[in-house]
Amino acid sequence: MGGVKQKAPQLIMGKHSPVIHKLRKAMEFYQELGFEYLPVKGLDIRKSLSGTVDGHHPETPADDTSGPAAERGDRGGALESLRNEIGDCIRCKLSTGRKNIVFGEGNAGAALMFIGEGPGRDEDIQARPFVGDAGKLLTNLIVKLGLKREDVYIANIVKCRPPGNRNPQPDEISACMPFLERQIEIIKPGVIVCLGNVAAKAILGSSVPISRLRGTFYDYHDIPVMPTFHPAYLLRNSKAKWLTWEDMQKVLEQLKS
Residue 236's domain is classified under what CATH number? 3.40.470.10
Q: Provide the residue count of the chain.
A: 257
Distance CA 32, CA 217 (A): 27
Residue 64 within any structural domain of the chain? no
Same domain, 31 and 128: no
Strand arrangement, sheet containing 191-195: 105-106, 153-156, 112-116, 191-195, 223-228, 218-220
Whether residue 43 is found in the same domain as residue 86:
no
If asked whether residues 237 and 208 sit together in one domain, one would say: yes
pLDDT tens for the chain, 257 residues long, are: 444 333 333 333 344 445 454 556 545 544 444 444 444 433 333 333 333 333 333 333 333 434 444 454 599 999 999 999 999 999 999 999 999 999 999 999 999 999 999 999 999 999 999 999 999 999 999 999 999 999 999 999 999 999 999 999 999 999 999 999 999 999 999 999 999 999 999 999 999 999 999 999 999 999 999 999 999 999 999 999 999 999 999 999 999 98
What pTM, to 2 d.p., does this model score?
0.73
Task: Kindly provide the b/e burial profile for residues 74-105, where b requires at least 16 CB atoms within 10 angstroms of the residue's own CB.
Answer: bbeebbeebeeeeeebebbebeeebeebbbbb
Q: Is the Cβ–Cβ distance between 83 and 103 less than 8 Å?
A: yes
How far apart CA 108 and CA 149 sit, in angstroms, is 12
Residue type for 105, please?
A: E
Domain count, the chain: 2
Distance CA 121, CA 140 (A): 20
**145 and 249 co-located in one domain:** yes
141 and 35 belong to one structural domain: no
Please give the Cα distance from 94 to 171 (Å, whole number).
10
Asked if residue 158 is part of any domain, the answer here is yes
Q: Note whether residue 216 is domain-resident.
A: yes
Instruction: Check: CB of residue 120 under 8 Å from CB of residue 165.
Output: yes
> What is the extent of the structural domain holding 44?
2-49
Does any domain span residue 156?
A: yes
